[in-house]
Amino acid sequence: MEVYLDNSATTKTFPEAAELAAKIMREDYGNPSSMHLKGVQAERYIRYARETLAGLMKVSEKEIYFTSGGTESDNLALIGCAMANYRAGRHLITTQTEHPAVLQPMHYLEDQGFEVTYLPVNGQGVISLEDLKKAVRPDTILVSIMHTNNEIGAVQPVAEAGALIKRVNPATLFHVDAVQGFGKARIYPGKSGIDMLSVSGHKIHAPKGIGFLYVRERVRIHNMIYGGGQQKNLRSGTENVPGIAALAKAAEMMYADLDRDVEKLYGLKEYFISGLSRIPDVRVNGPAPREGAPHIVSLSVRGVRSEVLLHALEDKGIYISAGSACASNKPRTQGSATLRGIGLEKDLLDSTVRFSMSVFTTKEELDYTLSVMYDMIPLLRRYTRK
C-alpha cells in the first residue's frame, strides 16, 4: 500500500488541471503577447485565470500577478515593497516562525540597512496581537505574517492583525504568505487589510512552477525582473499559460466544496491524532486540532530521530516529511525556527516529523500508517538505545 502524507511539501495535480495544461501545450500554445489568433487564444486563458482567482478572493482582476510560485511571490512582495518605500521608513516586522522564503529576504534586507523586528510566538505557534501593536512604529513600512505555518499548522489571526496594523499606522503595508492557507480557508484581502498575498500552485493540486501575488491597487512595489514588460512591468517574462490556467482550475476545484472538504480533513486529523495517542511518549505540536490548519499534524517521537522514522516509514510505502521540504538544505544544527520558536525541548527538535493530508487522503490510509507505527516505533527506540 502506498500512502502519501507529505502534501504540505507538494500535492498530486488534479487530473482536470493536468489535462487543461496538456491541452494548452498541445493545441493553444501561442505566446499571449502575440497579436495573431494563437496569441489571443493564449491570452484568454490568462484572463480566465485572473477572473477566477480574483472572484475567489473578491478582489480586482488587475491586482493578480502570476509568478513561478510562493518563493518568488514572497521575494517580490518583501524586497520589491521595501525598495519602493524605503524613503518612508526602514523598519519591517515579521515573525520568528516564517517560511525561509520570508526569513531569508528579511535577512537580505537587514544587510541592505533595514531594521527587522521578529515577533515571538506562544507554545501553539501564534503571535500576540499586543506584541504586534507595540512593534508597529511611524517608520514601519511593512509587516509580513504567514497565514498558516507549514510545519505545525498554526493559523495566525490575520484579519485581526490587518485591522490592528491599519489602526496604528495606516501607511504600513501588510503582506501575508498564504501558501499553506489558500485553498483550505476563505481569504478576503479587502476585509483583512491585506495589501499583498502570496500563493503557490503546487500546494493546491496545480503543477509546480506557478503561483501568484495579489497586490492591492496603488501599492508601490519595485519589479525584480526586467525584460518584455509583461504584467504591467512588475513581472516581465512570457507567461506560463499552461501553469496559469491549471492553477486557476485547481483553485476553482479547491473552493467548489470547501466547507465539506475542510470538515473531512478535520475529521481525519482528529482521528489520526487520537490514534497517535496510543503510542507512548509522543507529542503533537502546535494548536488544538480544530484551532490549527485542517491538514497538518506535527509529531515528536522521543528517542527516534526524524530521518530514521521517515525512511523506516518510506520502506513501508508511507511518505512523510522531517520538516519543511524547503528548509532541508539548511545545516541540521540550525534546526527548525518554528520548533525552536514554540519552545520545543532540545531532545525533540531532531525527533519531529510532519504528516500532511489532502482531499485525496482516506481513513484506510491513516489506519495503515497507525498500524505500521504501532509496531515500528518500539523497535526503533530499542535500536536507538543500543
**Residues with active-site annotation:** 326
Extended beta strands in 10-145, E state: 64-67, 91-95, 115-119, 140-144
Q: Provide the phi-psi class of 335: left if phi over 0, else alpha when psi is between -120 and 50, else beta.
A: left
Report whether 77 contacts 178 (CB < 8 A).
no
What is d(CA 245, CA 17) in angstroms, rounded to the nearest whole number?
8
What is d(CA 52, CA 46) in angstroms, rounded to the nearest whole number?
10
Sign of the torsion angle spanned by Cα atoms 156, 159, 162, 168:
negative
User: Reading across the β-sheet that carries 64-67, which strands appear in turn?
Assistant: 64-67, 211-215, 196-200, 173-177, 140-144, 91-95, 115-119
Q: Residue 284: what are its φ and ψ, rounded to 5°?
A: -90, 125
Residue 246, H or E segment: helix 241-256
C-alpha cell at 316: 513501508
Dmax (CA) of the chain? 71
Sign of the torsion angle spanned by Cα atoms 242, 246, 249, 255:
negative
Q: Which residue in 136, 146, 133 sits closest to 89, CA to CA?
A: 136
User: How far from chain centre, in Å, is Cα 309?
Assistant: 24
SS (H, E, C) 292-331: CCCCEEEEEECCCCHHHHHHHHHHCCEECECCCHHHCCCC
Q: Residue 174: what are its φ and ψ, rounded to 5°?
A: -125, 120
Helix axes 100-111, 70-85, angle to 10 degrees: 30
What is d(CA 262, CA 269) in angstroms, rounded to the nearest whole number?
10
